[in-house]
Structure 1
């Protein structure tokens, strides 16, 4: 079951002291790794389906590859690990005007929501930290599908206009948004 929260309720639901932006699932290096892993995964899948003779180690590896190559990837996985392709781009303290701009973007009233029929590819993310440096929340963003999620069970619903504002926001802080 998936829970939904509007972007304005999301940004008001926790306190934070620092924000970091992350880029993931993009670039030549990432694509090279994915192309290298696909044949391994496919070979294990075929063996499992046809012969069901994978060793315990191979079963674990197939599970790992399924997680890495699954359609929807998130910045932080269920174990708290950052995606292997993630790169921290920026860090901003709460009192930085950039954080005020981000909050205002997310506070935009949700009246017109896009409903694309594609699976989101979260290539951008914003991580919110408390004063102790602990992660309070991570917001995964797909600018192509106009989708946001905290994790696989929690979606953030936002007005269509927010995604264009987020594109401009990322560009203004020198965060790459091209694929």
Structure 2
């Protein structure tokens, strides 16, 4: 599915941008679990170790289906569907795919746009991995976009307040 098609399908009241699987929240959670492991009773240690191991294995997406967001997720910004920012992004995402990109790595999604309805129910997610330029929906359907679109999305998220280096850096080939 093309990104412009994905965007056109979204009937949302507001969207939230998330950053996850990195940053201070991940570091604090790992530290907390390590401390708990040291003082835990024998029967609790296995469960804590499983949580630590899960944090070492990157989760595929922001949520499993439309369930709760990843434990390391931080909401960066919330935009109403009719806001200037959301309208500008909608306009910019209408770029047709000219330069196709085929990811040669396994995506570790670290950014997402989550779409909510007026009842505050999560209705759709666009997971984004900037390092290899790959996106997928909450249903794990690949979403195709022009290379320029990733630059647009990166700039958009930075304008909204995302400051993580994973977002800002993309390896250049050749």
Counterparts of 1:66 and 1:105, CA distance in 2: 39
Give yes or no for the alignment of 1:22 onto 2:18.
yes
Name the count of aligned residue pairs: 157
The two structures have a TM-score, normalised by structure 2, of 0.76
Which residue is 1:75 aligned to?
A: 62
Structure 1 range deviating more: 58-67 or 141-150: 58-67
Is 14-23 or 108-117 further displaced after alignment?
108-117
SS, match of residue 76 in structure 2 = strand
Which residue matches 1:48?
Answer: none
2:86, 2:25 → 1: CA distance?
A: 30
CA drift at 1:60: 8.4
Equivalence for 2:38: none
The TM-score with structure 1 as length reference comes to 0.74
Q: 1:99 to 1:31 in 2, by over 3 A?
A: same
What is the root-mean-square deviation in Å for CA atoms of aligned residues?
2.7
- Choose from 102, 110, 118 the match for 2:105: 118
The C-alpha deviation readout for 1:71-115, integer Å capped at 9, x for no partner, is: 452111247021010001111111111001221232211121211
Within 2, Cα distance between the matches of 1:32 and 1:64?
13
* Deviation (angstroms), 1:27: 1.4
User: What does residue 167 of structure 1 align with?
Assistant: 154
User: Structure 1: where are the runs of 5+ without partners?
Assistant: 39-56
Counterpart selection for 1:178 from 145, 150, 165: 165
Q: 1:28 to 1:133 in 2, by over 3 A?
A: closer
Establish whether residue 98 from structure 1 lines up as the match of residue 79 from structure 2: no
Taking structure 1 as reference, are residues 172 and 33 closer, same or farther at Cα in structure 2, changes over 3 Å only? same
**Corresponding residue SS for 2:4:** helix
Is contact 2:30–2:52 with CA below 8 Å preserved after alignment? no
Matched, 1:12 2:8: yes
Could you say which structure has the greater relative contact order, defined with CA pairs below 8 angstroms and 6 or more residues apart?
1
